[in-house]
Amino acid sequence: EVQLVESGGGLVQTGGSLRLSCVASGFSFDDYSIAWFRQAPGKEREGVSCISSSDGTTYYADSVKGRFTISSNNAKKTVYLQVNSLKAEDTAVYYCAAVRISSCYYSDHSAYQNYKMDYWGRGTLVTVSS
């Protein structure tokens, strides 16, 4: 059974940090690029970050660049999202997703934000309070 299980969300004050984890099972992890998305209440889902399976290159949305860091431990089949300097607008459910494409980015029209992801987790809630 394919699973992506997120954890690490919670309630944090503005300026705080969290480390989100995404544990994968049931598929060939090394062949999949892994992305984090988020969805805030009443807003569209947003691609936050991605790590390419081919070479570990990382990508970030402009809104989180410099504050979030994605990393992967392939031996543990786990992808992390370190989220620092949190703002109220970072409040959202954070999802990890997997796609069998070796790079998160080929062009502005072919990037993880608009890929059809193969697998999704159920999400973990991050709430930032002021």
Share of the chain above pLDDT 90, in %: 96
- pLDDT at residue 2 greater than cutoff 90: yes
Q: How confident is the model at residue 31 (pLDDT cuts 50, 70, 90)?
A: very high
| Whole-number average pLDDT of the chain | 97
Give the model's pLDDT for residue 4: 98
Across the range 96-101, mean pLDDT stands at: 98
Does 24 have pLDDT greater than 90? yes
Helix, strand, coil shares, percent, the chain, to 5: 10, 50, 40
At 75, give phi and psi (nearest 5°). -65, -35
Of 43, 35, 39, the C-alpha closest to 118 is 35
Q: What is the pLDDT of residue 109?
A: 87
3-class secondary structure, 38: strand
Q: How many CB atoms lie within 10 A of CB 94?
A: 24
Structure tokens, 92: 């959202």
Give the residue-averaged pLDDT of 96-125. Answer: 95
Please state the φ and ψ torsions of residue 104, each to the nearest 5 degrees: -75, -15
